[in-house]
């Protein structure tokens, strides 16, 4: 399957942080380094800063079918190795009941992170999903960074998958983002007026030992000029391959809308996207983390608000138009039920029905490989 938009459609790749669980009691286990030693193609798997997580890397992809196949192969290989160590794999932005403080991975970069994060770092047992899109220049990155930022709350609402933490209902759909907000390097990116302003920022950040390199900038959306990508980092780790493909499709659709300067006309909203004040973007992120798709999104400086799930549904036709290589059936399967129920809602339903965190963990483990999109 080849895209008809080869002049605009970007190459892309994803990084998926997974939980390492004991096959016996479903608690987190600190075995990432042992697991990496058993993998035949270890280059596609990376340690995270704490030892109860592993990051799965896709190949560079050119369409969603490639991504789907790629993730299936990676997870099959990873599951085969993990079972020999008594490890099960799970998505989800936080573990629902494990209360242990994290153990940092004994690599130099992560040891330095531990020194800076102190006790806060011990609490950040979180799992994310990152998407890299290829960009031709830093100028393109800055343009896309500014254009995509107002859409980030929608991506968070769609991906929200961390309602429990340390055995408690948190009251949030994405408690992961609330935990990460304790660290100074996480959050919304600033709005840059020019490449020069961004370069000046980066030089000053290095000079003042704020950041050593681009990897230390943990914004929800960040330029990676050293590898010619723009990286979206706001999403919770998805439950399944199907969810991972859906989130990637939604982000790529937004990328193409901004790249092609598509005019968005949504009833009740005068102009979108707006150059909203940073405090509104920050408030919309908080609301998405709290209420998921049911959050009221501020869409104008006049105080106009729209439910995020309604906004997502009105935006979907514009996103679907960007995938000319996909059939109507394929698009329906990808986006079926988008915004009707968040992954966090599903987690809470399962816990409500079974009153058991173990059953919830069983569900998360059993659904990781789910992928019924008929490419």
Mean pLDDT over 49-56 rounds to: 96
65, 1 Cβ separation under 8 angstroms: yes
- How many CB atoms lie under 10 A from the CB of residue 38? 15
Instruction: Calculate what percentage of the chain has a pLDDT beyond 90.
Output: 78
Q: Which helix (H) or strand (E) holds 125?
A: none
Token output for 79: 């599951």
Written out in words, the top-level CATH class of the domain with range 12-366 is alpha beta
Q: Are strands 218-219 and 186-187 parallel, antiparallel or unpaired?
A: parallel
* Residue 75, phi then psi, degrees to nearest 5: -70, -35
- Per domain, the residue ranges of the chain are 12-366
Reply yes or no on whether the pLDDT at 273 is more than 60: yes
Looking from the CA of 217 toward its CB, the CA atoms found within 13 Å total 21
Distance from the Cα of residue 356 to its chain's centroid: 27
pLDDT of residue 7: 55
| The Cα angle at residue 96 between residues 93 and 102, in degrees rounded to 5 | 75
Where does the pLDDT of residue 260 fall: very low under 50, low under 70, confident under 90, or very high at 90 and above? Answer: very high
Integer CA distances (angstroms), 159 to 90, 92, 114, 184, 254, in order: 15, 9, 28, 23, 15
Tell me what the mean pLDDT of segment 269-297 comes to. 89
Residue 16: strand pairing partners? 56, 129
Hey, what are 327's tokens? 């059939």
Q: Mean pLDDT of all residues in the chain?
A: 92
């Amino acid at each position: 399957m080849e895209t008809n938009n080869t002049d605009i459609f970007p190459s892309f790749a994803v990084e998926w942080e997974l939980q390492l669980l004991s096959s016996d009691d479903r608690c987190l286990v600190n075995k990432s380094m042992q697991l990496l030693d058993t993998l035949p193609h270890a280059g596609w798997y990376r340690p995270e800063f704490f030892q109860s997580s592993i990051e799965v890397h896709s190949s560079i992809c050119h369409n969603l079918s490639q991504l789907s196949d790629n993730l299936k192969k990676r997870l099959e290989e990873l599951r085969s190795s993990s079972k020999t160590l008594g490890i099960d794999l799970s998505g989800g932005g936080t573990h629902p009941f494990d209360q242990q403080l994290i153990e940092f991975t004994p690599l130099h970069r992560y040891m330095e992170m531990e020194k800076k994060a102190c006790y806060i770092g011990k609490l950040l047992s979180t799992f994310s999903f990152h998407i890299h899109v290829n960009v031709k220049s830093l100028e393109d990155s800055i343009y896309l960074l500014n254009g995509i930022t107002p859409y980030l709350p929608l991506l968070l609402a769609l991906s929200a998958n961390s309602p429990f933490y340390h055995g408690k209902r948190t009251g949030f759909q994405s408690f992961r983002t609330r935990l990460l907000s304790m660290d100074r390097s996480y959050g919304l990116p600033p709005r840059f007026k020019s490449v020069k302003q961004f370069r000046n920022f980066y030089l000053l950040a290095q000079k003042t030992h704020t950041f050593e390199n681009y990897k230390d900038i943990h914004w929800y959306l960040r330029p990676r000029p050293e590898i010619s990508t723009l990286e979206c980092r706001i999403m919770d780790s998805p439950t399944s391959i199907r969810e991972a493909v859906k989130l990637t499709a939604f982000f790529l659709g937004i990328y193409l809308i901004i790249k092609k300067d598509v005019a968005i006309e949504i009833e009740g909203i005068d102009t979108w996207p707006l150059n909203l004040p940073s405090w509104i973007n920050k408030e919309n992120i908080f609301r998405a983390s709290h209420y998921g798709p049911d959050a009221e999104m501020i869409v104008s400086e006049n105080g106009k608000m729209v439910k995020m799930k309604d906004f997502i549904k009105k935006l979907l036709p514009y996103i679907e138009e960007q995938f000319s290589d996909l059939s109507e059936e394929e698009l329906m399967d990808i986006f079926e039920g988008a915004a009707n129920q968040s992954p966090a809602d599903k987690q809470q339903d399962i816990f409500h029905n079974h009153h058991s965190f173990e059953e919830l963990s069983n569900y998360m483990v059993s659904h990781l490989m789910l992928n019924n999109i008929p490419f």
